Each structure stands twice: as C-alpha cells, then as structure tokens.
Structure 1
C-alpha cells in the first residue's frame, strides 16, 4: 500500500513526532521519509533519516509531556502537503502553533519544512 500525501502528513506529525517509543518512531520514520530526506527547521537543516530520528528524539527529551495536535485538515496540491499543528503540554492550551509543508514522491516525504509561531513560553 502506497502512502498518500495526506497519510504522510499525519504520520509525520503523529507517528513520528508524537511517538515516545524509539522503536515505533524508527519504524514510522523508515516508512514515512526518503533515506535522504531534508528537513528545514527554523534554526537548522537536518539531512537523512538517521539525523531526523536523532532530532525527533532530542525534541521529545526537551518536552516529554508535550504533544502535537493537527490544527485543521491536511491540504494537498499534487505532491505537496500542508498540515497546521498545535504543540504544548498534554491537556492544556498550546504553547506553540505552526505548520509542516512537505514535498512527497513515490510514497515518502523527500523534503519537509517546519514553520513555528510561538504562542507562549514553555513552563
């Protein structure tokens, strides 16, 4: 089964960046991204699945009780996907909002852009 762009956008947010278990996160990364994926964050560029996994692990460690929630539906235009998100402590108002925009090809994300708008300061 080939992942659709909408599937990939949801997996990116929920199965990778919300996943606390390293093995499940690693499996989701292998199924969601190209081996040579390029992820553009506001302050860095991450290249490759392994580096993306390391960065996702680092983000989880910085705020282990925080979760991502989709902020609206996935938008798709050909091979591009967009999904807004909210991020913050589970069960509380979000501390940050943002969006992921991904270029997809052959059922995987090949390039990902994350844009973040701060809402408040982490506690």
Structure 2
C-alpha cells in the first residue's frame, strides 16, 4: 500500500513530469515508471488505455511557454488495509508567470504504488 506522501508525490509528478513534459521520450519513460501498464486516462476529449496513446494525448495539449501549476494541495483518501488510494489535485495551465488560461481537477487512483486511472475534469470558461 502506498503512503499518503507517496500518493501525493505521484500525483504531483504526474502533473509536472508527464503532463508538463514536451519530450515524448521523457513522458514515455515516466509513464512506464509511474503508471500501470494498463492504466486508463479519461478526459473530455478521449479515453485512452496505453502509455503511447496517453503520451500522444498529452502532446496535443501542450503549448510552448505554458506550464502546469498546482492550485491547491493534493487531497488523498487511503482506506486502512486497502491497496487502493484516490487523490485529487486542482491545477492551472497557462503562460509561465501569468494567471492560468485553463483550470481543472485531476482525480487519480493509485494501486500498488502506481497510477491506475486518471480522470481529468476541465472547468468551464466564464
């Protein structure tokens, strides 16, 4: 079972070194390290279930000069005696040093210390 600290770190790493990486090779290396081989990523645009498809989806989201930022702490639920944890993280995405252009929420399920599912919710623009 992963500790709250491990799940928190995994959730932040997912945001920054997978979704924040412009390098396909780095993303693939980190997906293999941090995600289960059969992990599923669901967002409003698609549902993907391979590391390659996840990396391809991330590449479509990235803009030069933009970065992800955490908009709050990672909240973790880890029921005692369970090998499953659930975390949520609010994030923003936009030009470095400016207010985010896009905001959302990631809900991550972690099983046996790796990401099993990632559900991404986008906030509506006013």
TM over 0.5: yes
Unaligned runs of 5+ in 2: 79-84
SS at match of 2:119: strand
CA–CA distance in 1 between the matches of 2:122 and 2:53? 20
Q: Please give the secondary structure, in 2, of the residue aligned with 1:73.
A: coil
The answer as to 2:75 corresponding to 1:75 is yes
Instruction: State the match for 2:34 in structure 1.
Output: 32
Alignment of 1:100-115 (within 5 A): 100-115=106-121
Specify every segment of 5 or more residues in structure 1 that has no aligned partner in the other structure, as ranges: none
CA distance in 2, matches of 1:57, 1:30: 17
| Structure 1 residues 81 and 99, CA gap change in structure 2 (3 angstroms) | same
For residue 5 of structure 1, what is the aligned residue in structure 2?
A: 7
Distance 2:41 2:27 in 1: 16
- 1: CA distance, partners of 2:60 / 2:45: 14
The structure 1 segments of at least 4 consecutive aligned residues displaced by more than 6 Å after TM superposition are none
Q: Check conservation: 1:95, 1:119, Cα contact below 8 A.
A: no
1:38–1:45: 8 Å Cα contact kept in structure 2? yes
TM-score of the pair, normalised by structure 2: 0.85
Q: How many residues align?
A: 117
Task: Compute the RMSD of aligned alpha carbons.
Answer: 1.7
Aligned to 1:64: 64
TM-score for both structures, normalised by structure 1 = 0.87
